[in-house]
Structure 1
Amino acid sequence: MVRYVNEGNIFTINGIKCYAHGCNCAGAMGKGIALQFKMKYPKMYRLYKKKCIDGTFTIGDVFEYVTGDEHIYNLGTQKDWKMKADLEAIRKSISTMMELASQGNVKAIAMPKIGAGLGRLDWCDVKAIIEDVALKYSNIELVVVENYKERNTDCQ
């Protein structure tokens, strides 16, 4: 099942401790949500960078990092930060992530709208892939935050 949130921060969604994001395979997490992952999980970043340098994290791959009850899914969606993300790599990495999550008894994963920001793909194309893959995993909820917002600043 996929649930879309118009605005928010994947790290502040109640009840969710597992996260995914699209990555390049060049070892760089210098912008966007990737930079937030780098700052929040520095050990994960060092392992990811080593995998990229060693050539063991390539387009379409998933690097799952587990710390305590958190699972972080680094999805290899683009070769490097200069190139567009790749739709087939997104399909492959999301499929692998969902299989890993199912095996790990993960019930919910929060993620940004991958591939459509710095990855420069059409969000409708990426969204169709996410929904198609998620159909096979009804036991896992994907919560997709479509627009980043640090916190709610609306007066109520």
Structure 2
Amino acid sequence: MQIVVRGFACLFRKTRSQVLPLSPVSKQDLNSMLSASSYNRAPCSTHGIQFPEDSWRLKHASGDLFSCPMDEALAHCISEDCRMGAGIAVLFKKKFGGVSKLKEQRKLPGQCALLIQDGRFIYYLITKKKASQRPTYENLRLSLEDMKSHCLKNGVKRISMPRIGCGLDRLQ
């Protein structure tokens, strides 16, 4: 399976775009990957690399997240309170609505809430309790694993997302 993540910062520059395993990443591994300084986070190139069928890869793409193909799922980070009052979350809230449906799912930090719009999965990675708080790398990792589990069960091959955890959330 190949999952291409569009719009995601290539935080894994040290790996030179090598295939990253689908198995869970330890907190120590994640922190070391994320500790690269910003000049090391240039867009990655996958030119000339052979990917095994059971792998996934990251692809950095610039542009409007909402103009990605309809066969791609979308994902972004929110808080458990589903406030979505700043950043790209405001655009997700305006475009897809469904705040009451998200709240009904009663997802906790480290889990992933879900909406389905026009046959497309929209993933809401719950990374913190309240909008005013800062997420943890552990909750980010757990919510990504929860999303991955849903993707594998439902045959999702492509996900477009912004640079998650950075910006307003202030993670590296």
Question: Do they superpose with TM above 0.5?
Answer: yes
The corresponding residue for 2:87 is 32
The corresponding residue for 1:64 is 114
The amino acid of 2:92's aligned partner reads F
SS of 2:60 mapped into structure 1: strand
Which blocks of at least 5 consecutive residues in structure 2 are unaligned? Answer: 1-56
- Post-superposition Cα deviations, 1:15-64, rounded to whole Å, max 9, x if no partner, equal 5431000001122011111111111111x22212344xxxx221101112
Q: Residues 120, 57 of structure 1: CA spacing in aligned structure 2 closer, same or farther, 3 A cutoff?
A: same
What's the RMSD between the two structures over aligned residues?
1.5
Write the distance in 1 (CA, Å) between the matches of 2:100 and 2:165: 22
What percent identity do the matched residue pairs reach? Answer: 29
Higher relative contact order (CA 8 A, sep 6+): 1
The corresponding residue for 1:114 is 164
- Once the two structures are superposed, the pairs formed by residues 7-156 of structure 1 within 5 Å of their partners are 7-14=62-69, 16-42=71-97, 44-51=98-105, 56-122=106-172
The amino acid of 1:3's aligned partner reads K
Pick one of 58, 61, 72 that aligns with 1:2. Answer: 58
Q: Would you identify which runs of 4 or more consecutive aligned residues in structure 1 move more than 6 Å?
A: none
Count of aligned positions: 116
Q: Structure 2 length as normaliser, TM-score?
A: 0.63
Deviation for aligned residue 1:9 = 1.8
Q: Structure 1 length as normaliser, TM-score?
A: 0.69
Deviation for aligned residue 1:79 = 1.6
